[in-house]
């Protein structure tokens, strides 16, 4: 369990589940469900723009401080990644926190995107794995309640099926895991980042509501 990307080992075993509930992994799950070809996590917005210039089928996507980057094709709202916009396209994704967590997960042989919007599908996808590491994107290198709560939701169910929680971070996450869909929504909407996004306006508030909904998508996606 990594509560932020700085805790990720340089070489990992098994499968990594990357979590950025608000909003990267929720958004990219929707994008891939809506037919995006693949996603490439990038460290900087400049790299995304430079690569788009060389790759005609690619879209530059992501945000800084929650808002779309000037010159980008798409921001970080799960509701804007429609089939018409992303079908068959490669997503060059650079966000404040999520893309960095995804890049840290490249140390693992298998990687999945995890969020409440596809929580049960992620749980099914890792069933039987010997080694599972949950990587929380966090917020600017620190703790993010909504990411840790999702990690706890996942760890609690793995433990119920006989898995061993290997570290204190996983046990902490389980202690704050939401018990039901109402609890999921309360955690996401009540988190500090959820409140920040809602303060930006009604479109962002809709994103927070969506990201706090359990099992919108019945598939898990790798990258």
pLDDT at 81: 98
* Predicted confidence (pLDDT) per residue in 28-67, tens digit: 999 999 999 999 999 999 999 999 999 999 999 999 999 9
- The CA angle 126-128-134, to the nearest 5 degrees, is 40
What would the mean pLDDT of 11-17 be, rounded to a whole number?
A: 91
Beta-strand runs (E) in 115-219: 132-136
Length reported for the chain:
223
Give the model's pLDDT for residue 92.
98
* Residue 6 banded pLDDT, cuts 50, 70, 90: confident
Mean pLDDT of the residues in the chain: 96
Q: Which comes out higher in pLDDT, residue 6 or 126? A: 126
Mean pLDDT computed over 93-116: 96
C-alpha separations of 220 from 28, 117, 120, 195, 214 in Å:
11, 10, 9, 27, 13
Task: Enter the pTM of the model.
Answer: 0.95
Instruction: Give the bridge partners for 108, in sequence order.
Output: none
Query: For 168-211, what is each residue's pLDDT tens digit?
Result: 999 999 999 999 999 999 999 999 999 999 999 999 999 999 99
In order of their start, the domains of the chain are: 5-211 (3.90.1560.10)
Cα dihedral sign, 76-155-175-10 = negative
Q: What is the pLDDT of residue 97?
A: 95
Report the percent of the chain where pLDDT is more than 70: 100
Residue 66, Ramachandran bin (φ over 0: left; ψ between -120 and 50: alpha; else beta)? left
What pLDDT score was predicted for residue 150? 98
pLDDT range class, residue 166, cuts 50, 70, 90: confident
Q: Rounding to the nearest 10 degrees, give the CA dihedral for residues 71, 76, 79, 82.
A: 50
What is the predicted pLDDT for the residue at 3?
87
Evaluate if residue 221 carries a pLDDT over 90. yes
Work out the widest C-alpha separation in the chain, in whole angstroms: 49
Q: Which of 91, 17, 65, 109 is nearest to 197 (CA)?
A: 65
Query: Is the C-alpha dihedral spanning 168, 172, 173, 177 positive or negative?
Result: positive
């Amino acid at each position: 369990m990594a509560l932020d990307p700085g805790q990720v080992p340089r070489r990992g075993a098994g499968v990594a589940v990357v979590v950025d509930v608000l909003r990267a992994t929720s958004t990219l799950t929707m994008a891939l469900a809506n037919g995006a070809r693949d996603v490439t996590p990038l460290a900087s917005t400049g790299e995304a723009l430079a690569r788009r210039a060389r790759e005609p089928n690619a879209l530059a996507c992501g945000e800084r401080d929650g808002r779309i980057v000037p010159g980008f094709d798409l921001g970080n709202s799960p509701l804007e990644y429609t089939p018409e916009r992303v079908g068959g396209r490669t997503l060059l994704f650079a966000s404040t926190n999520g893309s960095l967590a995804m890049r840290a997960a490249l140390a693992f042989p298998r990687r999945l995107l995890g969020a409440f919007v596809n929580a049960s599908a992620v749980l099914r996808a890792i069933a039987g794995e010997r080694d599972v590491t949950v990587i929380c994107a966090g917020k600017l290198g620190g703790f993010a309640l909504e990411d840790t709560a999702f990690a706890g939701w996942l760890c609690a169910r793995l433990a119920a099926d006989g898995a061993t929680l290997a570290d204190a971070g996983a046990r902490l996450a389980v202690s704050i895991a939401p018990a039901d869909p109402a609890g999921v929504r309360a955690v996401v909407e009540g988190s500090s980042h959820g409140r920040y996004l809602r303060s930006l306006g009604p479109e962002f508030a809709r994103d927070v509501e969506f990201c706090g909904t359990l099992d919108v998508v019945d598939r898990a996606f790798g990258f």
